[in-house]
Amino acid sequence: MVQQLFSRALVSAKWLADGIKANRLGPSLRVLDASWYPPEERNARKEYQERHIPGASFFDIDECKDKSSPYEVMLPSEKHFADYVGNLGISNSTHVVVYDGDHLGTFYAPRAWWMFRVFGHKEVSVLNGGFKNWLREGYPVTKEVIKPDPAVFHAKLNRSHVKTYEDMLENIESKKFQVVDSRSEGRFCGTEPEPGQGIYPGHIPGTVNMPFYTFLTESGHEKSLEEIQKMFKEKNIDLGKPLAVTCRRGVTACHVALAAFLLGKEDTAIYDGSWAEWFRRAKPEHIITEWKRNSPDASHPRAG
């Protein structure tokens, strides 16, 4: 069972390259480049247009989100998501493989993976090692941008996999579910700046810190099941009990959800508003931080 889940959530570069070579790309298999970078550093869409995995479409997280929200990367409506991915040629029977070009190997791809799952699509995988390792292993790239024929996608939001501010607030007292924060230790504790204007670092009371990048090897691949299991055990996280994950804006939290999924836990929830919402709405006593309030605000937009 665990191995089946593992193979379903992750695919290797070789597996995908073999599928492309065998002409499997089409309505039954679609590839998405879900890269995102701070605009002043890199232009994800431009890089996609210059080179990408053959047959891949660009999945723009800044387009496939709730643009009316004051927070940064909130889930779109069912209709918005269905229309967006349908226009990428994805139906409910399509196997979707997502990747990104981050230097770590994977950054935004697990968010796209989780979005498909939370809208009811199970046949979705992350490319293990990302574009970084696709290039390193010498697989082909192209600048050809395809336009798939539109497909019909039916989205149904699984609300049990999404936590709201109210859920997180109530949980401080009830402790109905465990909470993991996937940001760096410094941002979690409040000893290093939080990306974004008008927000300083810290964490929600009762939260356990597991930085998302600790689930990756130095090469950028997902760690082994044994290593991941040990990591959760060391943090006293019981995967047999309810779990929710938070971060800066609901992106890197999805790395923890993916890691838990690899071990057979399919019901991890994400606090979609994450710290960006919590910081702006919570009472001071519910913001645990070592940050000096008179410290200069961070302004760098890269965050999870």
303 or 167: whose pLDDT is higher?
Answer: 167
Map out the domains of the chain as residue ranges: 2-157, 160-286
Tell me the whole-structure pTM to 2 decimals: 0.94
Task: Answer whether CATH 3.40.250.10 is correct for domain 160-286.
Answer: yes
Please indicate whether the domains covering 2-157 and 160-286 agree at the CATH topology level. yes
CATH number for 2-157 (one of 3.20.20.30, 3.40.50.261, 3.40.50.300, 3.40.250.10): it is: 3.40.250.10
Would you call 26 helix, strand, or coil by DSSP? strand
d(CA 65, CA 69): 9
For residues 56-65, average pLDDT: 97
For residues 171-187, average pLDDT: 98
Instruction: Report pLDDT for 303.
Output: 57
Contacts 24+ apart (CB under 8 A), 142-146: 142/51, 142/52, 142/53, 142/54, 143/49, 143/50, 143/51, 143/52, 144/54, 145/49, 146/55, 146/57
pLDDT band of 293, cuts 50, 70, 90? low
For residues 244-250, average pLDDT: 97
List active site positions. Answer: 247
Structure confidence by residue, pLDDT tens digits, 197-233? 789 999 999 999 999 999 999 999 999 999 999 999 9
Assess whether pLDDT exceeds 50 at residue 79.
Answer: yes
